[in-house]
Amino acid sequence: MSVIHSIQYLYTVAGFAVGLLVGLTGVGGGSLMTPLLILLFGVYPATAVGTDLLYAAATKSAGSVVHGHNRTIDWRVVGLLAAGSLPVTVVTIAALGALDVNGALARTLINAVLTVALFVTAICLIFRDRIVARYAPRLEVLTAKQIASFTVAVGAILGLMVSISSVGAGAIGVTALVLLYPKMPTARIVGTDIAHAVPLALAAGIGHWLLGTIDWQIFASLILGSIPGILLGSYVAIRLPDRALRLVLAATLIVVATKLSFGLMPASTDVVAVQTKSPH
Protein backbone atom coordinates (compact mmCIF):
# COMPACT_ATOMS: atom_id res chain seq x y z
CA MET A 1 0.00 0.00 0.00
CA SER A 2 2.76 2.48 0.91
CA VAL A 3 4.64 1.64 -2.29
CA ILE A 4 1.53 2.38 -4.37
CA HIS A 5 0.93 5.68 -2.57
CA SER A 6 4.58 6.72 -3.09
CA ILE A 7 4.31 5.97 -6.79
CA GLN A 8 1.14 8.07 -7.09
CA TYR A 9 2.92 10.87 -5.22
CA LEU A 10 5.84 10.68 -7.65
CA TYR A 11 3.41 10.97 -10.57
CA THR A 12 2.06 14.16 -9.00
CA VAL A 13 5.56 15.62 -8.54
CA ALA A 14 6.42 14.72 -12.14
CA GLY A 15 3.18 16.35 -13.30
CA PHE A 16 4.00 19.59 -11.48
CA ALA A 17 7.56 19.76 -12.86
CA VAL A 18 6.50 19.11 -16.44
CA GLY A 19 3.54 21.48 -16.16
CA LEU A 20 5.88 24.22 -14.94
CA LEU A 21 8.19 23.71 -17.94
CA VAL A 22 5.26 23.75 -20.37
CA GLY A 23 4.00 27.01 -18.92
CA LEU A 24 7.44 28.61 -19.11
CA THR A 25 8.50 27.54 -22.59
CA GLY A 26 5.59 25.84 -24.33
CA VAL A 27 7.84 22.76 -24.43
CA GLY A 28 8.23 19.71 -22.24
CA GLY A 29 4.79 18.09 -22.23
CA GLY A 30 4.95 14.89 -24.23
CA SER A 31 8.68 15.25 -24.81
CA LEU A 32 9.30 14.74 -21.09
CA MET A 33 6.19 13.09 -19.69
CA THR A 34 5.90 10.18 -22.13
CA PRO A 35 9.57 9.14 -21.75
CA LEU A 36 9.25 9.56 -17.97
CA LEU A 37 6.25 7.25 -17.89
CA ILE A 38 8.02 4.66 -20.04
CA LEU A 39 11.57 4.76 -18.67
CA LEU A 40 11.08 5.81 -15.05
CA PHE A 41 7.67 4.37 -14.16
CA GLY A 42 7.68 1.42 -16.54
CA VAL A 43 4.35 2.20 -18.19
CA TYR A 44 3.63 0.40 -21.48
CA PRO A 45 4.40 2.72 -24.47
CA ALA A 46 0.86 2.86 -25.89
CA THR A 47 -0.57 3.52 -22.43
CA ALA A 48 2.07 6.18 -21.76
CA VAL A 49 1.21 7.99 -25.00
CA GLY A 50 -2.55 7.79 -24.51
CA THR A 51 -2.46 8.87 -20.86
CA ASP A 52 -0.05 11.70 -21.61
CA LEU A 53 -2.26 13.03 -24.41
CA LEU A 54 -5.27 13.52 -22.15
CA TYR A 55 -2.97 14.87 -19.43
CA ALA A 56 -1.55 17.36 -21.94
CA ALA A 57 -5.04 18.44 -23.05
CA ALA A 58 -6.09 19.18 -19.49
CA THR A 59 -2.78 20.77 -18.52
CA LYS A 60 -2.54 23.02 -21.57
CA SER A 61 -6.18 24.04 -21.19
CA ALA A 62 -5.19 25.64 -17.91
CA GLY A 63 -2.19 27.25 -19.58
CA SER A 64 -4.38 28.55 -22.39
CA VAL A 65 -6.64 30.29 -19.88
CA VAL A 66 -3.69 32.21 -18.49
CA HIS A 67 -2.24 33.02 -21.90
CA GLY A 68 -5.71 34.07 -23.07
CA HIS A 69 -5.99 36.40 -20.09
CA ASN A 70 -2.56 37.84 -20.98
CA ARG A 71 -3.70 38.24 -24.63
CA THR A 72 -0.82 36.08 -25.82
CA ILE A 73 -2.77 33.81 -28.20
CA ASP A 74 -3.29 34.34 -31.94
CA TRP A 75 -6.56 32.47 -32.50
CA ARG A 76 -6.38 32.75 -36.29
CA VAL A 77 -3.10 30.84 -36.29
CA VAL A 78 -4.55 28.32 -33.85
CA GLY A 79 -7.39 27.72 -36.30
CA LEU A 80 -4.99 27.20 -39.22
CA LEU A 81 -2.90 24.71 -37.25
CA ALA A 82 -6.00 22.82 -36.14
CA ALA A 83 -7.28 22.67 -39.73
CA GLY A 84 -4.24 20.55 -40.54
CA SER A 85 -3.75 18.62 -37.30
CA LEU A 86 -7.25 17.42 -36.46
CA PRO A 87 -8.05 15.55 -39.71
CA VAL A 88 -4.61 13.89 -39.70
CA THR A 89 -5.11 12.93 -36.06
CA VAL A 90 -8.37 11.14 -36.88
CA VAL A 91 -6.73 9.24 -39.74
CA THR A 92 -3.68 8.32 -37.64
CA ILE A 93 -5.78 7.04 -34.73
CA ALA A 94 -7.83 4.96 -37.18
CA ALA A 95 -4.60 3.49 -38.57
CA LEU A 96 -3.37 2.66 -35.07
CA GLY A 97 -6.71 1.02 -34.38
CA ALA A 98 -6.15 -1.26 -37.36
CA LEU A 99 -3.02 -2.53 -35.62
CA ASP A 100 -2.76 -4.28 -32.27
CA VAL A 101 -1.97 -1.12 -30.31
CA ASN A 102 -0.32 -3.18 -27.56
CA GLY A 103 1.47 -5.49 -29.96
CA ALA A 104 5.13 -5.58 -30.94
CA LEU A 105 4.62 -3.67 -34.21
CA ALA A 106 2.78 -0.78 -32.55
CA ARG A 107 5.34 -0.68 -29.74
CA THR A 108 8.20 -0.50 -32.24
CA LEU A 109 6.42 2.24 -34.19
CA ILE A 110 5.74 4.31 -31.07
CA ASN A 111 9.32 3.98 -29.84
CA ALA A 112 10.75 4.87 -33.26
CA VAL A 113 8.57 7.96 -33.74
CA LEU A 114 9.11 9.01 -30.12
CA THR A 115 12.89 8.73 -30.46
CA VAL A 116 12.98 10.73 -33.70
CA ALA A 117 10.60 13.35 -32.28
CA LEU A 118 12.77 13.76 -29.17
CA PHE A 119 15.95 14.28 -31.21
CA VAL A 120 14.20 16.80 -33.49
CA THR A 121 12.76 18.57 -30.45
CA ALA A 122 16.25 18.79 -28.89
CA ILE A 123 17.68 20.19 -32.14
CA CYS A 124 14.93 22.80 -32.26
CA LEU A 125 15.61 23.78 -28.67
CA ILE A 126 19.37 24.13 -29.14
CA PHE A 127 19.52 25.63 -32.63
CA ARG A 128 16.23 27.52 -32.80
CA ASP A 129 17.92 30.90 -33.13
CA ARG A 130 20.27 29.68 -35.89
CA ILE A 131 17.44 27.96 -37.75
CA VAL A 132 15.35 31.10 -37.60
CA ALA A 133 18.26 33.34 -38.63
CA ARG A 134 18.99 31.16 -41.66
CA TYR A 135 15.51 30.36 -42.94
CA ALA A 136 13.23 33.16 -41.73
CA PRO A 137 14.46 35.66 -44.36
CA ARG A 138 13.57 33.15 -47.10
CA LEU A 139 10.05 32.80 -45.73
CA GLU A 140 9.51 36.55 -45.49
CA VAL A 141 8.89 36.68 -49.25
CA LEU A 142 5.88 34.38 -48.95
CA THR A 143 2.42 35.80 -49.38
CA ALA A 144 -0.14 35.68 -46.58
CA LYS A 145 -1.96 32.87 -48.40
CA GLN A 146 1.23 30.82 -48.70
CA ILE A 147 2.03 31.32 -45.02
CA ALA A 148 -1.47 30.15 -44.15
CA SER A 149 -0.99 27.03 -46.29
CA PHE A 150 2.35 26.28 -44.64
CA THR A 151 0.72 26.74 -41.22
CA VAL A 152 -1.93 24.15 -42.08
CA ALA A 153 0.84 21.79 -43.31
CA VAL A 154 2.74 22.25 -40.04
CA GLY A 155 -0.45 21.37 -38.17
CA ALA A 156 -0.79 18.18 -40.23
CA ILE A 157 2.77 17.10 -39.42
CA LEU A 158 2.22 17.81 -35.73
CA GLY A 159 -1.02 15.84 -35.82
CA LEU A 160 0.80 12.77 -37.14
CA MET A 161 3.67 12.97 -34.66
CA VAL A 162 1.55 13.76 -31.61
CA SER A 163 -1.01 11.04 -32.30
CA ILE A 164 1.71 8.38 -32.39
CA SER A 165 4.18 9.64 -29.79
CA SER A 166 2.48 12.59 -27.98
CA VAL A 167 5.63 14.61 -28.85
CA GLY A 168 6.03 17.49 -31.29
CA ALA A 169 3.51 20.17 -30.37
CA GLY A 170 6.08 21.95 -28.18
CA ALA A 171 9.53 22.84 -29.49
CA ILE A 172 8.84 21.74 -33.06
CA GLY A 173 5.60 23.68 -33.19
CA VAL A 174 7.16 26.76 -31.59
CA THR A 175 10.13 26.71 -34.01
CA ALA A 176 7.80 26.43 -37.00
CA LEU A 177 5.70 29.34 -35.76
CA VAL A 178 8.80 31.49 -35.19
CA LEU A 179 9.86 30.79 -38.78
CA LEU A 180 6.46 31.54 -40.26
CA TYR A 181 5.63 34.49 -37.99
CA PRO A 182 9.00 36.13 -37.11
CA LYS A 183 7.36 39.38 -36.00
CA MET A 184 5.12 37.67 -33.47
CA PRO A 185 6.33 38.16 -29.84
CA THR A 186 7.77 35.08 -28.15
CA ALA A 187 5.11 35.00 -25.44
CA ARG A 188 2.42 35.07 -28.14
CA ILE A 189 4.18 32.24 -30.03
CA VAL A 190 4.20 30.13 -26.86
CA GLY A 191 0.59 30.96 -26.03
CA THR A 192 -0.56 30.14 -29.57
CA ASP A 193 1.32 26.85 -29.56
CA ILE A 194 -0.18 25.86 -26.20
CA ALA A 195 -3.69 26.82 -27.31
CA HIS A 196 -3.38 24.68 -30.47
CA ALA A 197 -2.09 21.74 -28.44
CA VAL A 198 -5.38 21.58 -26.53
CA PRO A 199 -7.70 20.40 -29.34
CA LEU A 200 -4.89 18.34 -30.87
CA ALA A 201 -4.08 16.46 -27.66
CA LEU A 202 -7.77 16.14 -26.79
CA ALA A 203 -8.67 14.62 -30.16
CA ALA A 204 -5.72 12.22 -30.06
CA GLY A 205 -6.38 11.44 -26.39
CA ILE A 206 -10.02 10.58 -27.06
CA GLY A 207 -8.84 8.35 -29.88
CA HIS A 208 -6.46 6.52 -27.57
CA TRP A 209 -9.27 6.29 -25.00
CA LEU A 210 -11.37 4.45 -27.59
CA LEU A 211 -8.36 2.21 -28.22
CA GLY A 212 -8.18 1.44 -24.48
CA THR A 213 -4.75 2.95 -23.86
CA ILE A 214 -5.57 5.32 -20.98
CA ASP A 215 -4.62 4.69 -17.34
CA TRP A 216 -7.03 6.92 -15.39
CA GLN A 217 -5.26 6.54 -12.03
CA ILE A 218 -1.98 7.78 -13.51
CA PHE A 219 -3.88 10.55 -15.32
CA ALA A 220 -5.49 11.78 -12.09
CA SER A 221 -2.15 11.79 -10.26
CA LEU A 222 -0.45 13.75 -13.05
CA ILE A 223 -3.23 16.33 -13.25
CA LEU A 224 -3.06 16.95 -9.51
CA GLY A 225 0.45 18.32 -9.96
CA SER A 226 0.37 19.66 -13.50
CA ILE A 227 -2.45 22.20 -13.20
CA PRO A 228 -0.73 24.34 -10.52
CA GLY A 229 2.58 23.80 -12.35
CA ILE A 230 1.45 25.20 -15.70
CA LEU A 231 -0.53 28.01 -14.06
CA LEU A 232 2.62 29.13 -12.27
CA GLY A 233 4.79 28.69 -15.37
CA SER A 234 2.35 30.55 -17.65
CA TYR A 235 2.11 33.41 -15.15
CA VAL A 236 5.86 34.03 -15.12
CA ALA A 237 6.51 33.09 -18.78
CA ILE A 238 6.54 36.71 -19.92
CA ARG A 239 8.92 37.67 -17.10
CA LEU A 240 11.79 35.17 -17.48
CA PRO A 241 14.30 34.44 -20.28
CA ASP A 242 14.06 30.81 -21.38
CA ARG A 243 17.27 30.09 -23.33
CA ALA A 244 19.17 28.48 -20.43
CA LEU A 245 16.10 26.43 -19.58
CA ARG A 246 15.77 25.31 -23.20
CA LEU A 247 19.39 24.13 -23.30
CA VAL A 248 18.99 22.09 -20.11
CA LEU A 249 15.77 20.61 -21.45
CA ALA A 250 17.42 19.79 -24.78
CA ALA A 251 20.28 17.95 -23.05
CA THR A 252 17.74 15.94 -21.08
CA LEU A 253 15.83 15.00 -24.23
CA ILE A 254 19.01 13.85 -25.99
CA VAL A 255 19.82 11.52 -23.09
CA VAL A 256 16.27 10.16 -23.03
CA ALA A 257 16.13 9.70 -26.81
CA THR A 258 19.46 7.88 -26.73
CA LYS A 259 18.16 5.48 -24.11
CA LEU A 260 15.03 4.82 -26.13
CA SER A 261 17.00 4.30 -29.34
CA PHE A 262 19.18 1.67 -27.66
CA GLY A 263 16.15 -0.01 -26.15
CA LEU A 264 17.12 0.70 -22.56
CA MET A 265 13.59 0.19 -21.26
CA PRO A 266 12.40 -1.66 -18.19
CA ALA A 267 11.83 -5.33 -18.78
CA SER A 268 8.16 -6.25 -18.18
CA THR A 269 6.73 -2.78 -18.57
CA ASP A 270 3.24 -4.24 -18.68
CA VAL A 271 3.72 -5.82 -15.26
CA VAL A 272 5.00 -2.59 -13.72
CA ALA A 273 2.05 -0.69 -15.17
CA VAL A 274 -0.37 -3.08 -13.50
CA GLN A 275 1.44 -2.83 -10.19
CA THR A 276 1.10 0.96 -10.13
CA LYS A 277 -2.68 0.71 -9.99
CA SER A 278 -4.36 1.08 -6.64
CA PRO A 279 -6.41 -1.90 -5.47
CA HIS A 280 -10.20 -1.61 -5.70
Model pLDDT, residue 270: 42
Query: Residue 42 belongs to what domain range?
Result: 2-264
In a domain, 280, yes or no: no
Q: What are the tens digits of pLDDT across the range 160-193?
A: 999 998 887 777 888 899 899 988 888 888 889 8
In a domain, 14, yes or no: yes
Q: Select from 32, 84, 81 the least CA-distant residue to 189.
A: 81
Q: What are the tens digits of pLDDT across the range 1-20?
A: 444 555 588 899 888 888 78
pTM (two decimals):
0.78
How many domains is the chain built from? 1
Percent of the chain with pLDDT over 70: 83
pLDDT surpassing 70 at residue 264: no
In a domain, 275, yes or no: no
In a domain, 187, yes or no: yes
d(CA 103, CA 271): 15
Within 8 A by CB and 6+ apart from 237, the residues are 23, 24, 25, 67, 187, 190
Q: What are the tens digits of pLDDT across the range 232-246?
A: 877 776 665 656 666
CB burial of 227-257 (b: ≥16 within 10 Å; e: otherwise) equals: bebbbbbbbebeeeebeebbeebbebbbebb
3-class secondary structure for the chain?
A: CHHHHHHHHHHHHHHHHHHHHHHHHCCCCHHHHHHHHHHHCCCCHHHHHHHHHHHHHHHHHHHHHHHHHCCCCCHHHHHHHHHHHHHHHHHHHHHHHHCCCCCHHHHHHHHHHHHHHHHHHHHHHHHHHHHHHHHHHHHCCCCHHHHHHHHHHHHHHHHHHHHHHCCCCCHHHHHHHHHHCCCCCHHHHHHHHHHHHHHHHHHHHHHHHHHCCCCHHHHHHHHHHHHHHHHHHHHHCCCCCCHHHHHHHHHHHHHHHHHHHCCCCCCCHHHHHHHCCCCC
**Segment 87-104 mean pLDDT:** 88
Highest mean pLDDT among 118-122, 203-207, 236-240, 249-253: 203-207
Residue 137, Cβ density class (10 Å: 0-12 exposed, 13-18 middle, ≥19 buried): exposed
Cβ-contact 252, 38 below 8 angstroms:
no
In a domain, 279, yes or no: no
In a domain, 216, yes or no: yes
In a domain, 271, yes or no: no
In a domain, 276, yes or no: no
